[in-house]
Structure formats: structure tokens, C-alpha cells
Amino acid sequence: MSSKSDHERLIVIAVNPGSSETPHILQWVLDNFLDPRRDKVQLVSGLCLESDLDAVSLGINAPDISAYLVNLEEESESDVTKRLTHCARLLTQANVRTECLVVKGHSDVRDIVVNYINDVKADALVVGSRDLGVWKRLWLGSFSDFCVHSVHCPVVVVKPSSA
């Protein structure tokens, strides 16, 4: 009979692959949280497909706007995927089963990521914190705080490396 600690865990790490804090977050989870024998990690980044762009503001003929936006989406997804794959190297070198996913949707990136995490029934979510002050948090919002209050699994918030 296997114990609870033997079951495979799905750990989702929501990252901004362009952030300078991402390597710190990944190293922290390797050092303090992940168990390569039983954890499967999904590195996830959200991509909002909504666009406030229109043909007039872009200087593009109206019939060409659709093709332009599709191309822009493909380029954005390709760039994020490349960055995620680069981030995943640290985990794969530590023998952690890792998958990179760009989760797309037509709402706020926070909602896109949270909905995905709830849909896959992740065992845990790891997010970084920008360590915003009170005023910045009020105006910019906090992704980690939103996740803590919106997902149906435990959330690990990794403080910035300078904290």
C-alpha cells in the first residue's frame, strides 16, 4: 500500500519568463520544495489574446488586420515558449519532469492562469512576489495575492532574491 507522500504531485509554477526573478524562483523551488521522484512541474505563462488595436491605429488596411493580429499572436506565443523552455533547463538538469505551457485566453492574464490551475486540479501553485509597497500594490494589483484568493490549491509565494 502506498502512502500519501508517494503519489505524483502536479506543481504549477506561474512565471513571467522575461522577469529577472524567474531564475531565483526556480532555484528556490528546487532547493526547498520539489521532490524530483514524485513531482511533475508545469511552467506556465499566460497570454492574453484580447487586443485594443484596430486597423486605424496600426495604419493597416482593415482586411489585413486579422492576418496581422494572428501573426502577432503567433510571434508572442513563440517568444514566450522559447523563454519558458530556457527557464525549464534548470529544472530538467535536476531531473525534474518539466513541461512548458503558454496558456491563452481572452481575459486578464491573472484569470487565464487561475482558471487553468483550477481546471487541471494542480496540487500546488508556486508564484513569485514583486514585493510591492502598499501604494504600488493598490494601483498595480498583486498577482500572487490574486492567486492566493482564487485557486483551489495551496500557493507558495517566493519572495524576491533581494528580500
CATH homologous superfamily of 4-49+81-158: HUPs (3.40.50.620)
Q: How far apart are CA 78 and CA 13, in angstroms?
A: 19
* Tens of each residue's pLDDT in the chain, 163 residues: 445 557 899 999 998 887 888 899 999 999 999 999 999 999 999 888 765 555 445 555 656 666 766 676 777 777 788 888 888 999 999 999 999 999 988 888 889 999 999 999 999 999 988 655 554 444 445 788 889 999 999 999 998 876 5
**Global confidence as pTM:** 0.78
In the numeric block, which cell numbers belong to residue 40?
511533475
Give the burial class of 140: count Cβ atoms within 10 A of its Cβ; 0-12 exposed, 13-18 middle, 19 or more buried.
exposed
Q: How far apart are CA 70 and CA 78, in angstroms?
A: 12
Q: What are phi and psi of 28, to 5 degrees?
A: -60, -45
